[in-house]
Structure 1
Amino acid sequence: MFTLFNRRRTLLALPLLLGGAALGLTAFAPNESPRSVRNESFGRGEVVKYKVHYGLITAAEATIEVDDAIQRINDRPCYKATVTGRTNGSFDLFLKVRDTWRSYIDTTSILPQKFFRNIEENSYRKKETVDFDHQRDVVEVESRKKDKDPKRSTHKVPDNVQDLVSGFYFLRTLDFSHRKVGEQIKVQGFFDDEVFDMTVTYKGRQNVETKAGTVRAIRLTPRMPKNKLFRGEDAISVYLSDDKNKIPVLFEAEMFVGSVKVDMYKYNGLKHPLALTKN
Structure 2
Amino acid sequence: MKKYYLAFLLLICLPRVYGQEASKTDAVVFQAGEQITYKLRYGIFTAAEAIIKTENSTQKFDGKPALRIHAIANTAGTFNLLFKVRNQYQTFINPTTLLPYYYSEERKEGGYKHNDKVIFDRDKNIITANSGTYPFTGNVFDFLSAYYFARNVDISGLRINDKLDLRYFLEDGVHTLTITYLGKEQIKCGLGTFNCLKFSPTIIPGRIFRKNSKLYLWITDDKNRIPVKAHVELVVGSLVMDLTQASGLKYALNPVKK
How high is the TM-score relative to the length of structure 2?
0.91
Which residue of structure 2 aligns with residue 134 of structure 1?
A: 122
Which residue of structure 2 aligns with residue 3 of structure 1?
A: none
Residue of structure 2 aligned with 1:174, choices 149, 153, 168: 153
Q: Distance in 2 between matches of 1:10 and 1:229?
A: 8
Which residue of structure 1 aligns with residue 234 of structure 2?
A: 255
Alignment of 1:71-110 (within 5 A): 71-110=59-98
Alignment of 1:155-234 (within 5 A): 155-232=134-211
Q: Distance in 2 between matches of 1:229 and 1:23?
A: 25
Query: How far is the alpha carbon of 1:122 from its aligned partner?
Result: 2.6
Which residue of structure 2 aligns with residue 14 of structure 1?
A: 9
What letter matches 1:135 in structure 2? D
Distance 1:228 1:61, change over 3 A: same
Q: Distance in 1 between matches of 2:242 and 2:155?
A: 22
Verify the 8 A CA contact 1:25 1:162 in the aligned structure 2.
Answer: no
Distance 1:157 1:133, change over 3 A: same
Secondary structure of 2:160 counterpart:
coil
Q: Distance in 2 between matches of 1:37 and 1:209?
A: 27
* More deviation, 45-54/168-177: 168-177
Q: Distance in 2 between matches of 1:130 and 1:213?
A: 37
Query: How far is the alpha carbon of 1:212 from its aligned partner?
Result: 1.0
What letter matches 1:272 in structure 2? Y
Distance 1:49 1:247, change over 3 A: same
Secondary structure of 1:276 counterpart:
coil
Verify the 8 A CA contact 1:80 1:103 in the aligned structure 2.
Answer: yes
CA RMSD of aligned residues (A): 2.2
Q: Which runs of 5+ in 1 are unaligned?
A: 1-6, 29-35, 143-151
What letter matches 1:61 in structure 2? E
What letter matches 1:248 in structure 2? P
TM-superposition CA deviations, 1:205-245 (whole Å, max 9, x none): 11111011111111111123444433346721111111001
Distance 1:185 1:60, change over 3 A: same
Q: Distance in 1 between matches of 2:102 and 2:152?
A: 20
Verify the 8 A CA contact 2:165 2:178 in the aligned structure 1.
Answer: yes
Residue of structure 2 aligned with 1:66, choices 39, 54, 68: 54
What letter matches 2:153 in structure 1? L
Which residue of structure 2 aligns with residue 266 of structure 1?
A: 245
Query: How far is the alpha carbon of 1:25 from its aligned partner?
Result: 2.5
Verify the 8 A CA contact 1:20 1:167 in the aligned structure 2.
Answer: yes
Verify the 8 A CA contact 2:219 2:227 in the aligned structure 1.
Answer: yes
Distance 1:200 1:60, change over 3 A: same
Query: How far is the alpha carbon of 1:107 from its aligned partner?
Result: 1.0
What letter matches 1:207 in structure 2? Q
What letter matches 1:77 in structure 2? P
TM-superposition CA deviations, 1:122-151 (whole Å, max 9, x none): 332221100011122111112xxxxxxxxx
Query: How far is the alpha carbon of 1:68 from its aligned partner?
Result: 4.5
Which residue of structure 2 aligns with residue 33 of structure 1?
A: none
Q: Distance in 1 between matches of 2:5 and 2:54?
A: 23
Query: How far is the alpha carbon of 1:111 from its aligned partner?
Result: 0.7
Number of residue pairs the alignment of both structures matches: 257
Verify the 8 A CA contact 1:23 1:168 in the aligned structure 2.
Answer: no
Alignment of 1:35-54 (within 5 A): 38-54=26-42
Secondary structure of 2:6 counterpart:
coil
Q: Which runs of 5+ in 2 are unaligned?
A: none
Verify the 8 A CA contact 2:217 2:231 in the aligned structure 1.
Answer: yes
Distance 1:191 1:102, change over 3 A: same
